[in-house]
Amino acid sequence: MLIEEQGTTDFSGVVLRYYAAEGLVQGHQVHLVGFPAEWKHQLPGVAVPDAKSKTSGSSAAAPEERMKIAWRYESLANAANAGTAARGDSNSGVTFCHAFDLSKRLAPSSCKGILHPTPSTGPPTLVQGGSKTISPLKDIIRNLKSKLESSPPNEIHRVVVPSLLSPTLYAAQCTQPGEVLQFLHGLRALLRQYSNQLTAVITLPTSLFPRNAGLVRWMELLCDGVVELIPLPATPGAAPPSVSDKKSSDQPQGLLKVHSLPVYHEKGGGGAETSAFHETLSFSLSASRGLNIKPYSLPPMEDEPQKERLPASTVKADMDF
């Protein structure tokens, strides 16, 4: 998955931290590119659900939800639940996706997996002993391949590639088309060879490398899914959104464009017929609920004019028929 982002915001970096934190909580092997191992201390902590609000909310909404479900579908749902209980599914207690809180930090007790920093991609310094003869990106592919070959077949690996080609994280030789395209080709080959064990998420700053460049288009073709985050400009003089204010946190902070999806069927791939390509999507970020994606809608109209808020007697005196 390639996540492109415009501007100087770091919404894609938040997505990467969620992706890495989920892997560590699930017990996966997380391979970090570009950053040192101390990046682990920036991952969000697991959110603790509020039992009181959850219990009260479910009891209040139960009668209304029960009225919306037809008796026929309710009986089918009860039969399905009974069948699942009869089978004794061992995975029923496993959480597929955890909720995280950006205001907290991931506790060491919650980490079941291991974070592996890959070989450095930065420019060589005098302390390191001059220039490298091996490309940093090729060294990463070689290191990742050796880890996959020596791991058990049921072990899951995640690759985190933040801000690909950014000059603050990658050496100048990494920006050459031959280097970055060979890196994506090698990563794609490992994803196909270990399709049940390996996933990867890459972010790309389009302010430095725009989408109309030929190199970026080739990078998009080598990725299974491509999405673009377009932050909305902030209103001058407006106060920052409050974490506790639900209304302000629901306001869209940017637009989401879906360029390709990892959808494969008998007619090809890419999912061009999916509604996500034709629908305008927006996203909003909050500390407790994470990154929410929903259809974009125009904000409500401003307050009524001053004339409409005047007393009824004053308005009637000025009306003409």
For residue 42, pLDDT over 60 is answered with: yes
Q: What percent of the chain has pLDDT over 70?
A: 66
Q: How confident is the model at residue 87 (pLDDT cuts 50, 70, 90)?
A: very low
At 318 the pLDDT is 57
Q: Is 33 helix (H, G, I), strand (E, B) or coil?
A: coil
Task: Compute φ and ψ for 105, nearest 5 degrees.
Answer: -120, 145
Binned at pLDDT 50, 70 and 90, residue 23 comes out as very high
pLDDT the model gives residue 88: 44
Average pLDDT over residues 306-321: 54
Q: Positive or negative, the Cα torsion across 167, 169, 171, 173?
A: negative
pLDDT above 70: residue 75: no
Q: What is the DSSP string of 114-174?
A: EEEEPSP-SPP-TTTTS--SS-HHHHHHHHHHHHHHHS-TT--EEEEE-STT-TTTS-GGG
Residue 240's DSSP bridge partners are: none
Instruction: Name the band, by pLDDT with cuts 50, 70 and 90, for residue 271.
Output: low
Cα angle at 191 between 162 and 205, to 5 degrees? 20
CA 202, CA 199: separation in Å to the nearest integer?
10
Hey, what amino acid is at 204?
Answer: L
What span, in angstroms and rounded, lies between the C-alpha atoms of 223 and 244?
Answer: 38
The full DSSP string for 174-217 is GGSHHHHHHHHHHHHHHHHHTTTTEEEEEEEETTTS-TTSHHHH
For residue 295, the SS3 value is: strand
Question: What's the average model confidence in pLDDT over 192-215?
Answer: 93
Quote the pTM value: 0.74
Lowest mean pLDDT among 6-10, 158-162, 222-226, 312-316: 312-316
Q: What is the mean pLDDT of residues 220-240?
A: 80
What the chain holds in terms of domains, given with CATH numbers, is: 2-47+97-235+258-263 (3.40.50.300)
H, E, C per residue of 11-30:
HHHHHHHHHHHHHHHHCCEE
Tell whether the model's pLDDT for residue 256 goes beyond 60.
yes
Residue found by looking up tokens 């791991």 in the block: 151
Q: What is the mean pLDDT of residues 52-81?
A: 51
